[in-house]
Every structure is written in C-alpha cells, then in structure tokens.
Structure 1
Amino acid sequence: MKSFVLPLALATLALPGVALAGTFTVTPTEVVDWKTVYGQIEARDSIPARARLGGTLTELSVTEGDLVQAGQPLGKIVDEKISFQLSAYDAQIAALESQLANAQTDLTRAESLKARGVMTAQAYDALQTQVNVYTSQIEAQKASRAVTEQQGAEGEVLAPITGRVLEVPVAKGAYVLAGESVATVGGGGFFLRVSVPERFAPSLSAGDPITMEGAKGVVEGKIAKVYPLIESGRVNADVEVPDLNSNFVGERVLVKLPLARRAAVLVPASVMVTRSGLDFVRITGAEGPVERAVVPGTHRTLDGVDMVEIISGLTGGEEVVTDEQ
C-alpha cells in the first residue's frame, strides 16, 4: 500500500486534537465561505459646482480627471446686464450728489439768513430735511450698487471640495442658469460600493474583512458600512480599501466577501489518496488502519497546512492516520 506521510511535528503543532504519533482526531472547524461579487469604485462625496449667477460661461479651466482644491476657480460666468446696472447706479448716484451739493449750498445760505432773522425756522428745517433726504438716497443707491456688484462677483464658479473632477456637462460659451451644474467634483476619499442579494444581508457587518483582486495582486480591506435600505432585492455596502486607485471612478473590480460561517470537516490534503477516481483516507479501526472513501471539497490553508474539506465520509471524531504504522 502506498504511504502518504505528514511530518509528525507538523501534525502535532498545526492540528488540534492529536491523539498519538501519526494520527489526529477529526474535529469540525468553523470556516468562512467567500462570495465573489463586483464592487464599483465611488467617491465618498460627489458635489456639483453650481452656477450662482445666470449668464454666459466665458471661462472654463478644468476638464474631467483634473485634481482641484476646495475654493479653486473652475470657470467664470458673465451677465452683461450687470455692467449696465452698475452704470445706471453710478449715474443715479452722481445725480443725487449734484442735488445734494445744491441743497447743502442752499442750507448754508439759509443759515446766514436765519441768523439775521430774514428766514423762518420752518423754511430752514425744510432745507435741512432736503439735505438729509438726498444723503439717505445716495446711501441707498450705493447699497443697491454693492448688491449688484456682489452678484457679478458670484459669476466665478468655485470647487466645493478638494478632489477629482468627475464630470463637466457644459462647454465654454454656453449659457447657464443660476443653480445649474458646471462640474461635479468627487472627494472625501474613495471606496468600493458592493451590492449583494438580500439573503446575505444578515451575514454582512461593519468591520468584516474582504479581499480584492487589484492590479498589484490581492488587496485586503474591510466593510465600512452596510446600508439598511434594500432595493430590488439587494443590499448595498461600502468597503474601505487602502490605496484604492481612484483614476477611474465607476470602475468595477472583483471583491470577495465573507457571507457565511459554518462547521466543516478538514483533513490535510497529504493524507488523501486517489485510486480509480475515488478518494480515500485511512482511519484507525478495531483491527488497525482501514481506508474509507470520502468526497473532498475545496482546499483551504490553515496555519500553513494545505487542508481539504471533506463533504462526505467523515463526520468528526474519527482518528485519521497521518503516518505509516
């Protein structure tokens, strides 16, 4: 009979339940079943940079993929009516200032007349009131001009957050309305958004580890958030992955999620022998080692040992022979 040998030291140190040299007791072990799903790279914050003023987009300094800082100018909108309104306010202020100058001259002349008793106090008060009215009207026009001037300054479109420009739906020279999006900026970090069937929802929890197949190989991460709203029979979760490539937001990558935990019977792959398409392991019997046919499952690595799951043939409690007696 062909011998399948697992070193005694490895069997003793790596495998629990060793009964004697060359054997170990099969004990059900908790294993995690992983499911491979697609995850999509998303920005944590996706905020549109909106126009605060309606007008013509005369400048546009960014395009998709550019990195921007919060408050950085992205474009400029010009409303030609604002310059005409400012000119109208300037003309009104100039006219009122001329009227104020005349009223102040009349008031100065009235002061001398009042001092000589030629002018009544009522007439003098009327001139004083007229000076105050012109002064107030000038202040009101200046305040209105400042409001219009501020509206013109709001034609500058600023980046709402630090991040990457994801979308620029308008072009230079286009007419945009107040509140219309000029660019969409994604920032605040990037993560993976995964969607799995709702039957796996109880198995997902924040902090669970995940693995992702990236350009640099297998990368480990963890589930950051599980959303309580189930849509179309699927539950969404956010996965944090260190150094996630954010060059292509919306890119789909493969993610392995831990979706089930169960007890499984595992034996070292080295104790199995295959003959005529059947797999066997040797277990201790009343009259010595005997072979038992088993149905193997997937391979798993535990403490550096290649283990294979036994789907049928072993139930736990058996002593598997790992060394020639």
Structure 2
Amino acid sequence: MNKRHSIRWRWLLLAACGAAIAVQVQAEALATRVLVPTQRYDELVSDAVVESTRQTEIAAQVPGRVTALYVKAGDRVGAGQPLVTVDQRAADQQLAAVRAQAAAAQADLDVARRELERTQTLFARKYVSQAALDRAQARYRAAAAISTSRLAQTRAAAVEPTLHSISAPYAAIVARVDVELGSMAMPGTPLVTVLDPNALRAVATVPQSRVALLQMRSPARIELPDLPEPDRWQTASSVTILPLADPQSDSIKIRLALPPSTSNGIRPGMFARAHFPIGAPHPRLMVPLSAVVRRTEVDAVYVVADDGSATLRQVRLGETSADQVEVLAGLSFGERIALEPLAAAKR
C-alpha cells in the first residue's frame, strides 16, 4: 500500500470514528423516561358553565332622563367610578324648596322663642295670665316640631341628587349596558351590568345518584375546551354541593371555584367540563402528551431499547389529564419511551 492509500484509509477511519462518536452523543442527548405506575382516581365528567360569583345589575332608584353615559361593554372600572348620570334638575329644585322651607321654620322658631322668653318675664311680674304663658309655650313647641320636620326633609332631599349619579360598587368589568344616552330611566330598570372577573366559578349539573360517589379528598379539575394550554385545565380551589335537587332532572348543582386567573380568556358563560374524582385511586400508565406522535388515526410513541435504538409503536390512549395522557394498550410498566419524538425519529 503506497503512502497515498495509507493517508486515505486513515481519513476514512477518523470519519467513521467521528460518526460513531456523533451517534453516541446523539443517543446520550435523547431525553427518555421509564414508565412507572401513577396512582390516579377514576373521574366523573359533567358539563358545566362558567359564571361570576359577583355579578350585579345596577338599576335606577329615581326616574329621569339619562344625561351622561361614561362606559361601554367591556370596559374595566374601579370602585366608585361613575357609570351613568340621570337628569337631576328636578331634584335640585326640590332640594332648594325644602331648604327654603327649613329656613322659614327656623325663623318662626326664633320668633316663638323670643316671645316665650318675654311672656315668661311678664308672667313672673304678674303682668300676664297663666293662659298667656301656656299659649306662648305651645306656640314654641309647635314651631320647634315644624323646624325639626323641615330639617329632616332637607336631609332626605339632599340624598336624592346623589341617587342620580350611579357609580360602580366594586372593581369590575362592564358586561352589558342596557340604556342609551337620552333614554328614560325608571326605578328598578337595569342600566348597567358589571361583574368581577377575578371571582369566577364553574357550575356543574351532576345526577343525584352519583353525588355520593364523589371523592372530595382529591381536588376536582375544570376543563375549558375553548382555551389553549396551559389555561385549558384549572384546579378548583373549593367545591360546594348545593343542598337542593332539581325534581325534574333529579340532579344537583355543584359549584367549583376557579382560582384567580391572570388570563383574560376565561369569561362567564363559557362551556366547561368538571372532572370529579370518584372511587379509590389505582395505578395507571401515563405518558406526556408531547411524547405522543399522531399520524392520521394512529397514535404512537417511540420506545427506546437497551442499545439506544428507538422504535415507533402504536398505542391506544385514554383520558387526558393536563399535560399527561393515559395509555390503555401498547406499553408496559418498566419500558423506556422517548420524550422528544422528532429527535427519536432521526436515530
């Protein structure tokens, strides 16, 4: 073998060794997991709807025409922020009239007091009779009662103008505006509906015969199918079973409080599913959703052998729980799967 062939063989050997090292590094870099039993409860799934625990229909307390409308549906408002103003000119005039009557009553009271003082002085000097003193005292008491009544009416009339300016009772989102600028507001007629976006719950309807099976020692989960991950799954912070049953459907409503959410995707009226744990926990084979390969109607995972080779194997999947899915057939405990299907496919 000449020198040129010797150099060529050396390069081929080095390339082969480099390829082997690359394959070994790739094999070592492949993320895998050994399947172990996961203790989980069976679940009772029930349809639910999201609602706000604090939703208020704000109505007018006095009649009048809407003169100002400060909000629209979807606006965020703070506690005490003005929402609607109703024409208060009539209330202002009524307040002015009552205040004038109170001032007149106070003037009459002052005259009655001075007259009573003069009458008492004259009675002490025997210049007037007892009857004159009694009349002066009676007039003073009547004037005092009228003055007290007028002052009470003034305080009541002073409250009415404040009822024409309608404010938010708490920090909320405006859900609906039921009036237009210039329309007539009547007592009891809803003007604006507000709700607290941080106080939400899901209300599920469960057959009365299944309520006794619910396992309340484990937290219930709420699925919001219309939201993407990770907001799709929420854990109920509390569960309340209402004491009354619907006689027509023989069902009971259960309230599941949603944790305070920083996402704007959860809204009252959304469809949800409540997942209640039932029975006793038993071992299940769970794999991450990211490890599952979906091809048309086939679900599969890459199974990694002891020598590092990866083989695609078809599996039958069950229920999904957050980022995990149950494998009903195709895998066994103790086997190793690849967590990154794309990396395993390149082996």
TM-score (norm 2): 0.57
Superposition map of 1:84-163 within 5 A: 84-104=93-113, 106-107=115-116, 109-110=118-119, 113-114=122-123, 116-163=125-172
Q: Does 1:166 align with 2:144?
A: no
Residue among 63, 66, 72 paired with 1:54: 63
Taking only aligned residues, the RMSD between alpha carbons, in angstroms, comes to 4.7
Superposition map of 1:26-105 within 5 A: 40-104=49-113
- Give the partner amino acid of 2:139: Q
TM-aligned CA distance change 1:216 to 1:305, over 3 Å: closer
The separation in 2 between residues aligned to 1:141 and 1:121, in whole angstroms, is 30
| Partner deviation per Cα, 1:143-167 (whole Å, 9 max, x = no partner) | 1121121122222223223221111
**How far off is 1:64 after superposition?**
1.2
TM-aligned CA distance change 1:266 to 1:71, over 3 Å: closer
- Give the partner amino acid of 2:150: Q
| Partner deviation per Cα, 1:257-313 (whole Å, 9 max, x = no partner) | 367779799799xxxxxxxxxxxxxxxxxxxxxxxxxx9732789xx99985349xx
Contact 1:299 1:307 in 2 (8 A): yes
The separation in 2 between residues aligned to 1:70 and 1:159, in whole angstroms, is 5
The separation in 2 between residues aligned to 1:310 and 1:34, in whole angstroms, is 19
Residue among 214, 234, 244 paired with 1:221: 234
The separation in 1 between residues aligned to 2:81 and 2:286, in whole angstroms, is 61
| Partner deviation per Cα, 1:106-147 (whole Å, 9 max, x = no partner) | 445545644554322321332233233223212211111211
Contact 1:14 1:305 in 2 (8 A): no
Question: Aligned to 1:119, what secondary structure does the other structure show?
Answer: coil
The separation in 1 between residues aligned to 2:335 and 2:86, in whole angstroms, is 81
- Equivalent position of 2:188 in the other structure: 179
107-116 or 150-159: bigger deviation = 107-116
Superposition map of 1:206-285 within 5 A: 206=216, 207-212=219-224, 214-217=227-230, 219-223=232-236, 224-225=238-239, 227-228=241-242, 232=249, 236-237=253-254, 238=256, 240=258, 243=261, 245-246=263-264, 249-250=267-268, 252=270, 255=273, 257=275
Contact 1:296 1:310 in 2 (8 A): yes
The separation in 2 between residues aligned to 1:113 and 1:321, in whole angstroms, is 117
Question: Aligned to 2:198, what secondary structure does the other structure show?
Answer: strand
The separation in 2 between residues aligned to 1:167 and 1:308, in whole angstroms, is 46
Residue among 170, 179, 189 paired with 2:198: 189
Q: Does 1:298 align with 2:311?
A: no
Instruction: Flag the structure with higher strand content.
Output: 1
- Unpaired runs of at least 5, structure 1: 1-12, 17-28, 269-294
Question: Aligned to 2:159, what secondary structure does the other structure show?
Answer: helix
Question: Aligned to 1:154, what secondary structure does the other structure show?
Answer: helix
Size of the alignment, in residue pairs?
A: 268
79-88 or 245-254: bigger deviation = 245-254
Contact 1:34 1:258 in 2 (8 A): yes
Question: Aligned to 1:189, what secondary structure does the other structure show?
Answer: coil
Contact 2:317 2:325 in 1 (8 A): no
| Partner deviation per Cα, 1:213-232 (whole Å, 9 max, x = no partner) | 53344643224436456664
**How far off is 1:204 after superposition?**
5.0
- Give the partner amino acid of 2:239: K
Contact 1:165 1:184 in 2 (8 A): yes
**How far off is 1:197 after superposition?**
6.6
Contact 2:119 2:133 in 1 (8 A): yes
**How far off is 1:37 after superposition?**
7.4
The separation in 1 between residues aligned to 2:113 and 2:315, in whole angstroms, is 107
